[in-house]
Copies of this chain bind each other. A is one copy, B any other.
Amino acid sequence: MVTLRKQYVVTRSVYSEDCFAEDHERVFRQRKTTLDHVKEYLTCDAKRAKNAVLSLLPIIGWMRIYRIREWLLGDLVSGVSTGLVAIMQGLAFSLLAGLPPSYGLYTAFFPVLTYFFLGTSRHISVGSFPVLSLMVGAVVTRLVPDGGPAANITGFEDLTQDQQRVLVASSVTFLMGIFQLAMGVLQVGFIVMYLSDTLVSGFTTAAAVHILVSQLKFVLGLEVPGISGPLSVIYTLEKNFVQITSTNICDLVMSIVIMVVVFIVKELNDRYKAKLPVPIPIEVIMTIIACGVSYGFNFNKRFGVEIVGKMVSGYESPIAPSVEVFQESVVEAFPMAIVGFAVAFSVAKVYSIKHDYTIDGNQELIAFGVSNIFGASFRSFAASTALSRSAVQESSGGKTQIAGLLSAFMAMIVTLALGFLLEPLPRSVLGAVVIVNLKGMLMQFREIPYLWRRDRIECVVWMGTCLGATLLGLDLGLAVGLGLELLTVVFRTQFPRCSVLVNISGTDLYRDRKDYLHTNEPQGVKIFRIPSPIFFANIEFFKDKLVEAVGFQPLRVLRKRNKALMKIKNLLKKGNVNITEKGLRDLFSQSTDESHVDMEILDLPSDVKDLPNKLCWNAELPANISVPKVDIHSLILDFSAVSFLDISALKGLRTTLKEFIRVDVDVYIASCDMYILETLHSCMFFDDEIQTSMFFPSLHDAMLHVLDKHKDIRKGYAHIPQMLDWIEIWRI
């Protein structure tokens, strides 16, 4: 097998980057300037205008290709099933937001209307999202707490507590919409890329913990005020446990029954997914049953079960957001805007890949921004999408947002006419449904051991985000997670595994010296590999490793040499020394005073002009002059993995290269990216000492160049490859 292997034969000139550029003409490519980009952006013609309209109103795109016969039935079925889920979730999630349940129905209606026109995803179900509802709830309970007085905000005086809460919720939603719209207009949708899977997983797990804790009071039938801020989870748990003896048994039993039934049926739905045309809408069924039972047996009066109660019938007049609430909640609204968009976008992306159409992040931002602003004006709270509801919409055959529109109309019908039917529904039922839906999110805890085995750093990000978001609250937790995640990128490149490379005998390949036995290492040449970008956080580390690899401090050697040089010049002046071919021989030892030497002069290149002969620093020197021996003449840096250099790195690299050059070590840089080379040129990296001739396209080119330049060193070393004068065959 091995003998039959194909051969790799190359015969060409040895290239440095300069020679290569001479031989191989480069195409001149005009780079666009910022001005060009602006011009291009501002150019307007019919086609561009049409595209702009199409991208701003994606509905035109999919309406034109709407296949009524094939799609309409699916959309109708899907709209009805999604509508049922949306109504139920709307009621449940409004409890998370600390609002009366009817406002959840508003959220299932208004934002959908605008998203229908503006959204690019055809499959997501727009409306309340538990994590977002909880974040709204945190602001609501902070500004309008259950026990204490409301925050000092103009216009609060004449309102009931619920009205104050609705004002706060709609204002923060409005602000969140503004943020989303602004991000969409500024085309910065790419920032969701910063939310890695690991971060989102840790964050949503923490959100599940928050939701679980916040729903306990409904399931247990306790009166616990909503708490927000850092450590609120712990305080809420404490308050629940303090009151645990006053648990409402009816609530608890009903919740447990519902949780068990829903859990089992959901498992069955999963198992028989292939056989069921549509998953059984068990939450909806159980809610209806519970509603009926509660009404029939009058749970509210008989067992003191807290029910949904009087629903607002019909819609209320639009509301203006409060600027004072904006000021109070700006720190929370921004993470809400990010989280809301990130969730909707990631769900939308899954379906867009599955059904093979494109979605546009920036247009989605605009769509959600407008939807939230519009919804907030009509008193609905923060909208995004819920994974479970979108799954219902897609799996029950929804093809376009017509299904979404239909689900919104179902919510409207309940608001306008059928709301009274939901009034006897116990709140504990809603809590139980929310809790049982947390299973998937809480199961993410299983990622910890998985990540730990694969990548410790990711595991730290997961745990940091989850712990941070659990203990500090979701907004601060997201910031902590993001900070950690950005740190990991730096951390992964901060301590790169620098290595000394050697030639693998008989090849043009270079590998880590420590890994291989049969290697070629010509005397006096060191090849140093930097396996990462170089920037402010690792330039010092890189310098240290380089000094370690070559075995001497170039600056120290330079200073000692320059000191020695001053002594020698002094001796020469006094005629006490001869410079011979063999080195320096002093005739009379004599010490010179060195205490007043200006340090800065010692860092300059050695000035050997005045000396009659060339000075060889490694040769013998006069007895009282000692200079560290430098046993390399060439240093080759492998830059193939250096994907960028920042200003700190440029400065540091420049200093280091100069130090080596000044102690007569030739420095070569191999496999440097063309764009980095251009950057170096534009940053004035080159001068008399650091020249472009040090760049080589490959390590082997640089090595051949070095070997040719130092032909003499081959003599006497058997392991160094033979070199013909013009054709050097790198084979032994």
Contact = CB atoms under 8 A, between A and B. Distances in A.
Interface of A: 2, 4-15, 19-20, 22-27, 29, 70, 190, 193-194, 196-199, 353-356, 451, 454-455, 457-458, 483, 485-490, 492-494, 496-497, 504, 506-509, 511-512, 514-518, 531-533, 535-538, 540-541, 555-556, 559, 595, 599, 640-644, 646-648, 651, 671, 673-675, 682-683, 697-698, 700-701, 704-705, 708, 726-731
A171 B10 CA distance: 72
A278 to B, nearest CB: 14
9 contacts: A8-B15, A10-B507, A25-B518, A193-B537, A492-B644, A509-B697, A531-B673, A531-B675, A533-B533
A455 B683 contact: yes
B193 A508 contact: no
Contacts of A5: 13-14, 19
Nearest to A532: B643
Contacts of A535: 196, 489, 492
A536 B196 contact: yes
Given A24-B516, A197-B536, A538-B193, A486 B490 contact: yes
A671 B651 CA distance: 29
Contact of A458 (B199, B487, B646, B682): B646
Contact of A647 (B8, B455, B531): B455
B728 A7 contact: yes
7 cross-chain pairs, A with B, having the tightest CB-CB distances, nearest first:
A196-B536, A486-B486, A532-B643, A5-B13, A7-B727, A6-B14, A640-B640
Nearest to A487: B486
A559 B354 CA distance: 10
Nearest to A533: B643
Given A5-B19, A8-B701, A196-B536, 8 more contacts: A2-B23, A5-B14, A6-B14, A6-B705, A6-B708, A9-B729, A10-B507, A493-B643
Contact of A8 (B14, B458, B506): B14
A531 B458 CA distance: 23
Given A8-B700, A641-B673, A674-B511, A196 B648 contact: yes
A357 to B, nearest CB: 11
Given A193-B494, A486-B483, A537-B194, A515 B26 contact: yes
Contacts of A705: 6
A518 B26 CA distance: 9
Chain B CB within 10 A, most for which of A11, A531, A642? A11
B647 A458 contact: yes
Nearest to A456: B34
A497 to B, nearest CB: 6
A535 B23 CA distance: 37
A152 to B, nearest CB: 19
